[in-house]
Structures are given as C-alpha cells and as structure tokens.
Amino acid sequence: MSIQSSEVSCKDLISLNDFTNELKEAIINIIKKEGYERCKIGKRIISSKGGNFLGILYEVDITGITKHGYKETNLFIKEAKVLKINIISIKDVYSNEVFFYNELANIIMDLQKANVPVNEKFKLPKGYNESYDKAIILENLARKGYQIYDRRNGMCLKLAELIVEQLAKFHGVSFVLQNRVPEYYETVIKCKKPPMMFDEDWNYFIRNICKKIIEVLDSDILKEKVMKFVPKMHSKLQKYLLDNTSVGVLCHGDYKPQNIMVKESNGEITEVMALDYQLIYYGCPVNDLIFFIFSGTDRQFRKQYMGHLKTLYHETLKKYLGYFKMDVENVFPRKEFEQTFDDRLEYGLTIGVYMSYFQFAREDDVARFGEMALSELDINPCEGYESWIRGLIDDYVEWGYL
C-alpha cells in the first residue's frame, strides 16, 4: 500500500504527517480497512460556525485506488483541545462520545432495523471504531448535503419541529432499551453522570456571564433580580441535572442548534441530524427539550410555538414507541410529561444564562476557548445578544421566577 500526501494549492489542506501519531495510526487503519492500495490524503481545518468549543474540526479526504478501482472516503474528525479550565473534563467527554458511536449507535441501529420505517428512524452518522478518547472520527456529512447550523439564520418553525422530532426519537430509544435489554440499561445507561464539574471555576464563570447580562439590562429592578439569582445558579443546575427523576432516559446534555446538521432540498429544510454526544447523562427527558428551547429560540418564538413543540415532542414519542408495540402512556404519560415540564421550567433560566456565552461567542473567541483561565476570559458577545438576553429575563419575570 502506498500512501502519499495530497498536493493541493489551498493553504488549509495539509498532509497526513501533520496529524498526531495516534490520529495518523487511526487513519492508516481506516485506509487499510477500506482496501486502498494507493491513496492520497487531504486534511482541512473547518469552522464550526461558533458551535464547537471542545475540539478542533477537520475534514479528511482519502482518494485512491482499490482492487475494485477508484474510491473516495470522506471523514469528519474532531480532535480534543487541551483546556486550561476545570468546568469540564475533556477526557470524560470524549470517552462519552466514543462509547456512543462505537457501542450504543450499533445497538440503536440494530433495534431500529426491523421495527422502524426508514423515514421514521432516529438518524445517526456512520462512526469509525478507530475513534479514541482524544479524537472522534465520523463520516463527513457535508458530502451528503448536510450543513452546520448557522446561528445567524435564526430559528424557523420547520427547523425547530425537525429538531424536536429527532429528540423525541432519541429519548424513545432509551425507553425501548429499558424494555428490551433491561440489564444493559441498568448497568450501562443509568450510571451515566453529567461530566460537568461544579467547582469554583464554574462559579466564577457564571458570575462573569451574569455581569455581562446585567450590563445590557436597562432596569435597575431587573439587574437586582438577576444579581439575587446568581448565588442560586450552582445548586439549581445541579438539582435538575443530578436529581433521581421518576422517568429517566439517556439525555443528550447539549441539545442546542449548533450541534445539529441541516439538509435542504430546493431551499427547504428536509432533514436534521444531531451530533456531539459528549455530555450524555442519565436524567429527565424534559431537560433536553428545555435545553433546546432556551438555547435555540428567542422570546417571540417561545410565545408562539413553545406549546406546539411540547405537543409535537410527546406525539412523536408516542408514534416512535408504537413501532415497538409500546404505549407512551405506560412509560411517560402525557399528563406527567406536562407536569414535569412545568416543574422544570426554571431549568430554562439556568440554561439560558450560562448558554448565553456559548450561543453568542464570536468565532475567534470559540477558537481560543480554553487557552486561558476563566478568570482571564473576556466575554464579548456578538450581535443579537442584547435583545436575546432581555427576552430571556422578561420571560422569567413574567412567569414569576425572577
């Protein structure tokens, strides 16, 4: 087998020799498995459009000759950053994603194969077993027409509906796993804990974010309300993430629009696929739904469509479980779902506050995230931040939480 570096003029393309030894070995293993006899390797750093803080993203194209003729293999690789912050463990989050793509994804595909129609399945990209705790290797969905969600485009109803439907199917998989393979569910799924570390770094991070929020509020009364809420953030977030919920699933943990890839046809959004399973944990399914709503939509959208998205979630869950001859009323009754959402609505405020940094960070700041201590972190949000954060605060004043 002959492996050459691709010779290209674009400055963003570099050779295989520029990878770490571990990643180079993983790619060489993929080349062997794909049957290449001669090939060239191209690597290009890509932008996450402000969505990825914990890794460096690459597209890798392998082109060459197999015994069957010409072949092309397109990879998407996320390589771990070395961070100088302690609010999250990079090793743990990458181990989570390796588990998801190398083990759980195969189980999900097998479960769906005989039970769920093609167009109704929970969608997953192809993962490569060469992934390890410092790099995730997937098929390059961009070559299949998917695009990274661009937060500058805002949230439309069709996109939100597709995102919520996929979430309901993802949670549906958990209920099916619990029903079909209860021992695996008990020993593997239910032991997953949130990888966030709620230490003094976390408290500093939240105080820093809240200072920026207070700066953009016009009313002294609102500023005081936010200041009073800050000391409660630590315990409230832990309460919703770590409680022993009566109805539990494997939660995504970071179900925001930037972790969604979108496919269009004739200018219309037709498909979405969720990525980034680094923050998975066992918890309340409503957490993910609230996370999406309060990280991906603004006040006006919530006023119009939050009730609709709640209904859509539960109806989709009902339909998905039906393919496995399961009744949603036996696992997550509609009445209990509605009550759980109401009981956890405050979680959206904690999510909105700390996610405001990640949602509105400038791309340059995303690229540098983790290179400095949190005490040195400069919060300099991009356009749209002020109106969005005012809408979040207004919602929770109106609902009586502030």
The sign of the dihedral angle between the CA atoms of 301, 306, 311, 313 is positive
Supply the pLDDT for residue 85.
67
pLDDT over 50 (residue 361):
yes
List beta partners, residue 64: 39, 71
pLDDT value of residue 242? 86
Q: Does residue 246 share a domain with residue 111?
A: yes
- Taking only Cα atoms into account, the Rg of the chain, rounded to an integer number of angstroms, comes to 22
Domain count within the chain: 2
Percent of residues in the chain assigned helix, strand, coil, to nearest 5: 55, 20, 30
Are residues 43 and 165 both part of a single domain?
A: no
Does residue 328 share a domain with residue 379?
yes
Interstrand relation of 36-45 and 2-5 (parallel, antiparallel or unpaired): parallel
305, 350: one domain: yes
Task: Please compute the mean of the pLDDT values over residues 221-228 and round it to a whole number.
Answer: 91
Whether 58 and 195 share a structural domain = no
Q: How far is the C-alpha of 269 from the C-alpha of 252, rounded, in Å?
A: 22
Stretch among 125-139, 146-160, 251-265 having the lowest mean pLDDT: 146-160
The answer as to whether 122 is a domain residue is yes
291 and 238 share one domain: yes
Q: 235 lies in a domain?
A: yes
| pLDDT mean over 147-161 | 87
Whether 146 is in a domain gets the answer: no
Hey, which residues does 249 pair with through a beta bridge?
283
Please check whether residue 324 lies inside any domain of the structure.
yes
Which residue type does 263 have? Answer: K
Structural contact between residues 101 and 131, judged by C-beta atoms closer than 8 angstroms: yes
Among 53-57, 179-183, 284-288, 300-304, the minimum mean pLDDT is found in 53-57
Higher-pLDDT residue of 199 and 104 is 104
Residues 72 and 113 occupy one common structural domain:
no
Mean pLDDT over the full length of the chain: 88
DSSP secondary structure string for all residues of 52-77: -SSEEEEEEEEEEEETTEEEEEEEEE
Provide the residue range defining the domain that includes 72: 2-80
Same domain, 49 and 108: no
- Residue 145 belongs to a domain: no
Which of 111, 110, 239 is closest to 175 using CA atoms? Answer: 111
Dump pLDDT digits (tens) for 66-109.
Answer: 999 999 999 999 988 766 667 777 778 889 999 999 999 999 99
pLDDT tens-digit series, residues 342-353: 999 999 999 999
147 falls within a domain = no
223 and 192 housed in the same domain: yes
Q: Does residue 372 carry a pLDDT above 90?
A: no
Answer yes or no: do 23 and 159 share one domain. no
Kindly state the helix (H) or strand (E) to which residue 78 belongs, with its residue range. Answer: strand 69-80
> Same structural domain for residues 192 and 311?
yes
Q: Which of 50, 80, 110 finishes a domain?
A: 80
The CATH code of the domain that includes 264 is: 3.90.1200
pLDDT in tens, 42-54: 888 876 555 566 7
**Structure tokens, 270:** 């037709």
Band of pLDDT at residue 260, cut at 50, 70 and 90: very high
Q: What is the pLDDT of residue 131?
A: 95
Pairing of strands 135-139, 268-274: unpaired
Q: Are 57 and 69 in contact (CB under 8 A)?
A: no
Q: Quote the tokens at residue 110.
A: 């097998």
